[in-house]
Amino acid sequence: MKNFYAVIMAGGIGSRFWPISRTAHPKQFLDILGTGKTLIQNTFDRFKKIVPVENIFVVTNESYVELVKEQLPELSASQVLGEPIMRNTAPCVAYACHKISMINADASIVVAPSDHLILNEQEFISDITKSLEVSTRNKCLITLGIKPSRPDTGYGYIQFTSESLEDNFHKVKTFTEKPNLELAKTFVQSGEFLWNAGIFVWSAQSILNAFEKHLPDMNDIFKEGESIFNTEEEHAFIQNAYYQCTNISIDYGIMEKADNVYVLPTDFGWSDLGTWSSVYDLAEKDYVGNAVIPSDKVMMYDSSNCMVNVPDGKLVVLQGLDDFIIVEANNILMICPKSKEQSVKQIVADVKSRFGTDYI
């Protein structure tokens, strides 16, 4: 276990959860499901059961470093890595994995988002542990795939072959970004596709070899800092390094190109909590399908299938609404049909252009 490490990616701004998720306090730092813990705290607690606390690293935007330390007080300052600018997931992985390889060349690393929901924790722990062991033995790159329950157009898909490693780990054939509905239906019916959960497992050496092969320029940027990582000069070095990096995801930059990628089909009750509808699906509902988090002062008349999230103590009266999202936070009220929630990102952009950043 001492060679097992976890990297939690916590840099996103969660604009689809506006107005509750704001640039200064995005969704990973919120208790969106009303569980008493924020999403990043739940993620951290899960990984503590797999790897030692001192082997958990969080990569986040520089402006959230203090928030991370506040919410995860068990971490030392050197375990919270601040990114000066957003550059997608490849630089984030390169930074963390180069840094960890300088601490322990034999490290095996799981990389995961900070804001996902896992319902079956025991199965998750078992799948991640197994993946860490298999990646150590086989020098391969592993991704976790979720067995699809519906033809969802909001997820990426991973196609796998019958060729397998240690029984359960299947060779990856293709990655497909969010498909249209017809294609998604074909994928699900074929039985050859899994949802891409964005959770990766590899040995430090395997991923650094992959960077050297597929993203050599980015690899060189971080390789230069190997003598500087885990010293006082690290922060200044990273400030400069990130501005030299291209904006590219680890999926596109490496996983789609490497020939040693395997997927483990999993079923641990996963949701990426990407939209208000995904929270609605998981929330407790009354007999006509209304989900109210967390206020007890909501009165419904002839209203059904609504998602209501307002501050405690706020009295809300709904009449004649079906299938709506009603959210109030930070001096903002949003009322939106569930079917139109994909437009929230555009709404946020419009608010920003009209009122500046005060409401973002």
**Which class for 53: exposed (0-12), middle (13-18), buried (19 or more C-beta within 10 A)?**
middle
Half-sphere exposure of 265 (CA within 13 A, CB side): 17
Per-residue pLDDT tens, the chain, 360 aa: give them.
799 999 999 998 778 889 998 888 899 999 888 788 999 999 999 999 999 999 999 999 999 999 999 999 999 999 999 999 999 999 999 999 999 999 999 999 999 999 999 999 999 999 999 999 999 999 999 999 999 988 888 889 999 998 999 989 999 999 988 888 899 898 988 889 999 999 999 999 999 999 999 999 999 999 999 999 999 999 999 999 999 999 999 999 999 999 999 999 999 999 888 888 888 988 889 999 999 986 678 999 999 999 999 988 889 999 999 999 999 988 999 999 998 888 888 999 999 999 998 998
**pTM as predicted:** 0.94
Question: At which of 211, 245, 271 does a domain end?
Answer: 271
The DSSP secondary-structure symbol of 282 reads H
Q: Do 159 and 289 belong together in one domain? A: no
The DSSP-derived string for 8-31 is EE-----GGGTTTSBTTB-GGGS-
For residue 360, tell me if it sits in a domain.
no
For residue 18, tell me if it sits in a domain.
yes
Question: At which of 271, 306, 337 does a domain end?
Answer: 271
Q: Do 265 and 300 belong together in one domain? A: no
Q: Do 323 and 185 belong together in one domain? A: no
CA angle, 314 then 317 then 323, to 5°: 110
Spatial distance between the Cα atoms of 199 and 265, rounded to a whole number of angstroms:
12
139: tokens are 């020098």
The per-residue pLDDT for range 141-161, each reduced to its tens digit, is 999 999 998 888 888 999 999
CB 65 within 8 A of CB 82: yes
Q: Find the domain containing 339 and state its range.
A: 280-355
CB 23 within 8 A of CB 360: yes
Spatial distance between the Cα atoms of 308 and 326, rounded to a whole number of angstroms:
5
What is the per-residue burial (b if ≥16 Cβ within 10 Å, else e) of 156-191?
bbbbbeeeebeeebbbbeebbeebeeeebeebbeee
What is the amino acid identity at position 61? N
CATH code of the domain covering residue 134: 3.90.550.10
Residue with tokens 């997608």: 88
Nearest 10 degrees: CA dihedral of 324, 198, 82, 107? 150
Q: Do 74 and 18 belong together in one domain? A: yes
Q: Do 156 and 23 belong together in one domain? A: yes
Q: Closest by alpha carbon to 11, among 78, 88, 109?
A: 88
The per-residue pLDDT for range 230-242, each reduced to its tens digit, is 999 999 999 999 9
Query: Across the strands, what pairs with 57?
Result: 7
Q: Do 236 and 162 belong together in one domain? A: yes
91 upstream amide cis, omega within 30 of 0: no
**Number of domains observed in the structure of the chain:** 2
Report residue 262 CA to chain centroid gap.
Answer: 20
Spatial distance between the Cα atoms of 127 and 256, rounded to a whole number of angstroms:
22
